[in-house]
């Protein structure tokens, strides 16, 4: 039984990412997107690599946006949890041409951060889920602050909302826009982190970025008359 399960799991890793990319591109092609403060993105990534930070609820549309940005010449590295299920996400990102490192707060996180720092120094932009792979939802984990401090790259907070969407029964209530949804994409002011941080300063910057991400979240969902998704 274990061998059979292993076979079907490996088989699904070849098929599921391909099917997901096909379906998601068809889906998002029907959506209308309005961007707010896109100049923040341009300033963050114009002359140096940047780090895009977002809450986990928005991962599905953000993956699609990374495809659009890659076509525009942006090369990305993303951190994905080392869990079995997250291998599907890693497979999707690799098929899109992105570099992937595996790790999370509880497993392999430090090694993954080191790989991301090296990639940023080589000129790649980075993407990271700011509340991690297991949450709590919309509570910032310190990894992105350490990544920015050690790499010298500014952090760009982003958030989005959709007027029509599905939610999954996960810890973060992951959002998937419905066909023909109107999506509102918000960018925030880039945040720079000094290379040398004391513990008190680390917590201060952690709270500041959490505040900025939640402000963007409130602004995005307030745009469609909701307090949260």
pLDDT tens track for 165-222:
999 999 999 999 999 999 999 999 999 999 988 888 999 999 999 999 999 999 999 9
Q: How many Å apart are CA 147 and CA 114, to the nearest integer?
A: 8
The CATH number of the domain holding residue 26 is: 3.40.1130.10
Domain total for the chain?
Answer: 1
pLDDT (tens digit per residue) in 92-148: 999 998 999 998 776 778 899 999 999 999 999 999 999 998 889 999 999 999 999
Q: How many Å apart are CA 153 and CA 125, to the nearest integer?
A: 9
Q: Per the domain annotation, does 228 fall within a domain?
A: no
Q: Measured between alpha carbons, how far apart are the two ends of the chain, in Å?
A: 40
Q: Per the domain annotation, does 229 fall within a domain?
A: no
Q: Per the domain annotation, does 78 fall within a domain?
A: yes
Domain ranges, residue 100: 2-222
Q: Per the domain annotation, does 199 fall within a domain?
A: yes
Q: Per the domain annotation, does 227 fall within a domain?
A: no
Residue with the two structure tokens 């379906």: 23
* pTM score of the predicted model: 0.92
> Which residues, 6 or more positions from 179, have their beta carbon under 8 angstroms from its beta carbon?
27, 30, 31
Q: Per the domain annotation, does 27 fall within a domain?
A: yes
């Amino acid at each position: 039984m274990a061998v059979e399960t292993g076979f079907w799991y490996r088989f699904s890793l070849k098929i599921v990412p391909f099917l997901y990319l096909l379906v998601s591109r068809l889906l998002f092609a029907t959506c209308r997107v309005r961007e707010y403060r896109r100049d923040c993105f341009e300033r963050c990534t114009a002359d140096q690599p940047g780090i895009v930070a977002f809450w986990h609820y928005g991962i599905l549309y953000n993956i699609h946006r990374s495809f659009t940005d890659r076509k525009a010449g942006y090369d990305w590295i993303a951190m994905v949890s080392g869990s079995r299920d997250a291998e599907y996400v890693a497979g999707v990102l690799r098929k899109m041409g992105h570099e992937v490192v595996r790790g999370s707060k509880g497993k392999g996180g430090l090694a993954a951060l080191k790989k991301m720092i090296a990639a940023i120094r080589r000129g790649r932009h980075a993407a990271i889920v700011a509340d991690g792979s297991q949450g709590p939802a919309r509570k910032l984990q310190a990894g992105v602050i350490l990544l920015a401090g050690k790499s010298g790259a500014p952090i760009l907070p982003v958030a989005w909302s959709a007027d029509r969407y599905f939610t999954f029964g996960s810890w973060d209530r992951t959002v998937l826009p419905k066909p023909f949804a109107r999506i509102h994409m918000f960018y925030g002011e880039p945040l720079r982190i000094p290379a040398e941080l004391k513990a008190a300063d680390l917590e201060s910057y952690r709270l500041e970025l959490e505040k900025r991400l939640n402000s963007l979240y409130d602004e995005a969902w307030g745009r469609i008359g909701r307090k949260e998704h």
